Amino acid sequence: MTRVAVPLPYFDFFPNLKAELAEKYPGTKFCPPGLLLQGESLVEFLKGYDAAVIGLNRFTDEVCAQLPDLQIVSMCSAGVDHIDPAILNKYGIRMWWAPGINKVSVSELAVCYMVYTLRRIHYFSSILYKGAWKGPVGFGADLRGRTVGIHGCGFIGKEVVKLLQPYGVKILACDRVKMDDFYQEWGVEEVGPEELWARSDVLTIHLSRNQTTIGMYTGDVLDKMKPGSILINCARGHLVDEKALQHRLESGHIAGAAFDVFAVEPANGHPLLELPNFFASPHIGATTMESWEAMLRSGIRGIAEAYRQEPGVYPFD
């Protein structure tokens, strides 16, 4: 019988799935609520177990070297940028991951943030909360009629395309993979990055974090964006130079931005949070009941279906 340990606390929010996993794999050990186990605490929790159902737990060389019984890492997370397949292969550990499993939740959030930022809701709301509403408060802008650029048209980017259909926008997409049939079906214009930056009134990032995308949005790239545009990042931290973004928001070159992710999280006290034209949330892109139920079910499934990952093959660099 496969011995299973779960070093992430989310099963407590889904008692039916917790019971289902415990029934399928008797003796399953669950992480106490509120903990994200890493390093030595992760090693102690997993010692003697064959399979781990994980979220953002990191399996470094030091961790894997101390877990000789571990055979399977089954991921509930939608991203894999915290996993090195070469390390797993070194220790004979198989992995499971299901791409795009939270695509609906993240794409809905991205479109929501487009409207939210264009309408300057964060700023206008702050006026009300401060008790400073004494007359006209200014203007926002409509999404309808704008040009929306999507950088990264994978599982989530495609859902953004579909959700934008009723808004009457022009959609540009930039991706390293050719997808002519999809673009034709949904009325998307394929462009290169330079044209994407220059033409987009709203630019939403849906790239994975890897060696080709880390630090992509430098100050020079932000300067290439259309003056007065807005930037949405519900993808990953480390893709945008946050200090450079702060300067462009302060100058007005970028009119507004909404981020769900940061280079360093938690991002409490981040200087961007002081800006009236910047809105942020604490990495909630997949934080819906529907997404987490799907991700946890995928984690259960992966115990039996994990396989050997190849470095350099999608989703890895």
Tokens of 216: 């992509």
What's the CATH fold of domain 103-280? Rossmann fold (3.40.50)
What pLDDT was estimated at residue 295? Answer: 96
3-state secondary structure 116-135: HHHCCHHHHHHHHHCCCCCC
Task: Return all residues near 202 (Cβ < 8 A) that are at least 6 apart.
Answer: 114, 117, 118, 143, 146, 147, 148, 149, 169, 229, 230, 232
| Active-site option among 120, 122, 236, 248 | 236
Predicted confidence pLDDT, tens digits, the chain (317 residues): 899 999 999 999 999 999 999 999 999 999 988 778 999 999 999 999 999 999 989 999 999 999 999 999 999 988 888 899 999 999 999 999 999 999 999 999 999 999 999 999 999 999 999 999 999 999 999 999 999 999 999 999 999 999 999 999 999 999 999 999 999 999 999 999 999 999 999 999 999 998 899 999 999 999 999 999 999 999 999 999 999 999 999 999 999 999 999 999 999 999 999 999 999 999 999 999 999 999 999 999 999 999 999 888 888 87
Task: Return all residues near 160 (Cβ < 8 A) that are at least 6 apart.
Answer: 107, 110, 111, 150, 204, 206
pTM of the predicted protein model: 0.93
Is residue 236 annotated as part of the catalytic site, yes or no?
A: yes
- Determine the Cα–Cα distance for residues 110 and 240; give it in Å rounded to an integer: 16
What pLDDT was estimated at residue 119? Answer: 98
Residue with tokens 């929010």: 13
| Active-site option among 265, 290, 305, 310 | 265
- Determine the Cα–Cα distance for residues 29 and 138; give it in Å rounded to an integer: 55
Q: Strand 188-190 relative to strand 170-174: parallel, antiparallel, unpaired?
A: parallel
CB 302 within 8 Å of CB 4: no
Q: Give which of 257, 250, 206 is closest to 230, Cα–Cα.
A: 257
For 25-96, list the strands marked E by DSSP: 29-30, 51-54, 72-75, 94-96
Phi, psi angle pair for 119, to nearest 5°: -80, -5
What pLDDT was estimated at residue 77? Answer: 87
- Determine the Cα–Cα distance for residues 97 and 59; give it in Å rounded to an integer: 15
- Parse the chain into domains and list their residue ranges: 4-101+288-305, 103-280
Phi, psi angle pair for 240, to nearest 5°: -115, 135
Domain boundaries 4-101+288-305, corresponding CATH code: 3.40.50.720
Do domains 4-101+288-305 and 103-280 share one topology? The answer is yes
What pLDDT was estimated at residue 138? Answer: 95
